[in-house]
Amino acid sequence: MTELKRIIKAGYVNFKRNGSVSFAAVLQVMNTLAVILLIVLLQAVLYSALDQIRNKVDITIYFNTGAPEEKIMLLKSSLEKLPEVDRVSFTSAEDNFKSFSKLHSEDYSTIAALDEIGINPLGATLDVKAKEISQYENIAKFMESDNALVVGTSSIIYKINYYQNKLVIERLNSIISGSQRLGFLLTLYLVISSIIITFNIIRLTIFFTKEEISVMRLVGASKMRVRGPFMVEGALYGIVATIVILIIFAPATAWLGKHMTDFLGINMYNYYLSNFFQIFAIILLSGILLGVVSSFLAVRRYLNK
């Protein structure tokens, strides 16, 4: 414990003594943490946008006019048992007629035609929402099969709109997959490049104390006794950078939440506050690891001489 206290104290003294160099190192760690935090927030925007797209995609089963509701409910129950299905919504023929009439309330020729018919020409519908966009084809194939769960329902189905929307669904699925892969690759590139720059900054700070390292080795100091203070110093870079970055991003996300919610599709400030502890843990751990690992690697070349 005494040795550990000495290492921590020496690291803190080095951090204070190397004022301008420590400031430069903290700034670079801040840049890296800012990139990581931006990636976290951008991923939240991306996933929010993808969720909105998913919520707008479904397939609708149109039933013939006068189709028995008990058969429709049987089919609904069968669909809900499928592992691919998230939910199934039933809309009666009467509700569809009311919605249609309201939508075309300004179209007098359509209203006149409905009055002329005198009966409801629309049937009931089932809106099927899949858990993933890629699963709609399996649901459509299930509907076309002779599965025992749906035997007897083909005669009451007017049409399924999956094939009219197939091209759009497939394109959305490819966009979502591509966006996720691109986001991962961009994250990896930015984090690796930031780590390399930070490593070089910290190596520069250690360069100024290489003679001190040589003297410590000559008098018999262990590698951990030499390396420890630099690792503590690196951890302090990460801790200070984390505090500053989180303070800076608070008003920044508040401004985004006030002015850009409609554009981004998510209130960034609410997201920042509701996930603050997770964000704090990610950024703090990233900052400490970045400083400690960079210091560990940077001092190694001087220990091996």
In tens, the pLDDT along 104-120 reads 777 777 777 777 777 77
pLDDT over 80 (residue 151): no
What the block records as the tokens of 243 is: 């505090």
Annotated domain spans of the chain: 2-53+173-303, 58-165
User: What are the pLDDT digits (tens) for 32-60?
Assistant: 888 888 888 888 887 787 777 767 778 88
- The pLDDT of 294-304, averaged and rounded, is 73
User: What are the pLDDT digits (tens) for 156-215?
Assistant: 888 888 777 677 767 777 777 777 787 778 777 877 776 777 677 777 767 777 777 777
Phi, psi of 246 (to 5 degrees): -65, -35
- DSSP conformation class of 18: S
- Specify whether the CB–CB gap between 30 and 244 falls below 8 A: yes
Q: From CA 302, how far away is CA 305, in angstroms rounded?
A: 5
Tell how far CA 53 is from the center of its chain. 14
Query: Which one has a higher pLDDT value, 124 or 176?
Result: 124
Q: From CA 163, how far away is CA 128, in angstroms rounded?
A: 14
What the block records as the tokens of 298 is: 């940077």
- Specify whether the CB–CB gap between 32 and 198 falls below 8 A: yes
Q: Could you tell me what percent of the chain has a pLDDT over 70?
A: 89
Nearest CA among 55, 50, 44, 37 for reference residue 266 = 44
Q: How would residue 276 be classed by pLDDT, with cut points 50, 70 and 90?
A: very high
Q: Give the pLDDT of residue 148.
A: 44
Give the mean pLDDT of the chain.
Answer: 80
Q: From CA 219, how far away is CA 148, in angstroms rounded?
A: 84
Please give the CATH topology (third level) of the domain spanning 58-165: Alpha-Beta Plaits (3.30.70)
Q: From CA 139, how far away is CA 82, in angstroms rounded?
A: 8
pLDDT over 80 (residue 249): yes
pLDDT over 70 (residue 269): yes
Q: How would residue 153 be classed by pLDDT, with cut points 50, 70 and 90?
A: low
Order across the sheet with 59-63: list the strands: 85-91, 125-130, 59-63, 157-160
